[in-house]
Structure 1
């Protein structure tokens, strides 16, 4: 018997996630495009800017981003490495409190404003209830991060994203859980007058039965649940202690393990 760890939910072999920052009014059009093509996104918001031009209003947050994820981007978008420690606490925790009061769920993710962080900032996030944070350093790869608090995306949407999508779609099944992670700002499409870029991308990426379309937090939760599986010494039993189902490969076929379930593999 051969056990492998290369399946996303429902036995899918690849995953796609999107991440967009700041929460300007152009998110409305971007969300509409995502919804049309079944794409999932994470939106990193500065709640201190709500109800000012050109940002979204707090009254629309819950409905606008429904089906997607809202995450922290700090209250006012400062350089986090240039502020006192007390202000760092305030910028993260106040943004988190505001967002949670609007969306009605725990906000556990983040993107670094300006991509600015250091070891002090990174090592503080867990104490603020932040479990992942995205950088702006594009890897051009489809690798899952080693540290979710230093989550480097695949690429910005202006970095030949269509060609990168073609590469992603052509990956062989033996690749280890490839993840395509695209980031950017919705205002860039308006500024550059290239909304057709993201529409073409979403159309090409959509409704692929081999791809799991997920938010950032869904990706992180799934990978952590997969890593939390408990195996017996001889590999004949596996127990899922997490709160979500996970899939493993058994002799090349996906096998689902429900939350709290123990199964026998041989």
Structure 2
């Protein structure tokens, strides 16, 4: 029997994703830095607060975040674990609706406002069209998420960002997959006077041929595409019922399984 493992697109073993909250003016500079280094970000926005002092207006958001992901953060940023379920439903659904009118695509992810969530809220999210939700507690690690509704990042950008980045870019063992997930608020770079920190990190981690640069949702969609693959009992072939390609490592060789195809995995 062949040894078959998931790989990231084009056979890569590392993925980098960035996650920033609140949609403030400093996102303009952060997006420019990301774009310059080929890095993708997910920006979690409060549709009800857009255009308020210091915040990106709805009219600007579509162009500013083009090529990145617009994601939910509730309409008004309440501490939702203290809210009745009726409020939570409206905060999430109205935020999705408002952001979708800007983005032009279904908004299917979120980060918890004020880091507030509960088991009951997590259980509600699939029924509200949400497929992942990021928390604020960091792991300092590079594993794939165990729970997409309690997605723990690797680090806040204030937490050993460069040391963790050096570690991440140095990974090379093909038997593992590595995910570096950085989160924060762009206004913190203004407050702390340390834009050079994120500039340095993006110079280090950006533009590398062995890293997949993805939004939060792109990672979720790819993992789901892998889970939907239909393998023969013998694992000699696989059927991909989805529309997008999935890459596998088969006895150390990279095999692309295009969407809608049956792919042999053994000669």
TM-score category, normalised to shorter length: over 0.9
**How big is the shift at 1:12?**
1.0
TM-score by length of 1: 0.98
**How big is the shift at 1:31?**
0.3
TM-score by length of 2: 0.97
**Partner-residue secondary structure (3-state), 2:81:** helix
Q: Aligned Cα RMSD in Å?
A: 1.0
**Partner-residue secondary structure (3-state), 1:35:** helix
- The 5 A counterparts of 1:1-266 are 2-266=2-266
Distance 2:256 2:3 in 1: 13
Query: Any unmatched runs of 5+ in structure 2?
Result: none
Q: Deviations over 1:140-193 (max 9, x none)?
A: 110111221110000000001000011111223234211000000000000000
**How big is the shift at 1:242?**
1.8
Greater displacement, 230-239 / 64-73: 230-239
Q: Deviations over 1:30-64 (max 9, x none)?
A: 00100000000000001111111111111001100
Distance 1:130 1:243 in 2: 21
Distance 2:133 2:70 in 1: 13
**Partner-residue secondary structure (3-state), 2:53:** coil
Distance 2:175 2:40 in 1: 22
- Indicate conservation of the 8 Å contact 1:20/1:186, yes or no: yes
Query: Any unmatched runs of 5+ in structure 1?
Result: none
**Partner-residue secondary structure (3-state), 1:5:** strand
Structure 1 residues 243 and 106 mapped into 2: Cα distance closer, same or farther (>3 Å)? same
- Indicate conservation of the 8 Å contact 2:2/2:235, yes or no: no
List, as ranges, runs of 4+ consecutive aligned residues in structure 1 with deviation greater than 6 Å. none
Distance 2:124 2:208 in 1: 38
Distance 2:187 2:45 in 1: 13
Distance 1:171 1:36 in 2: 23
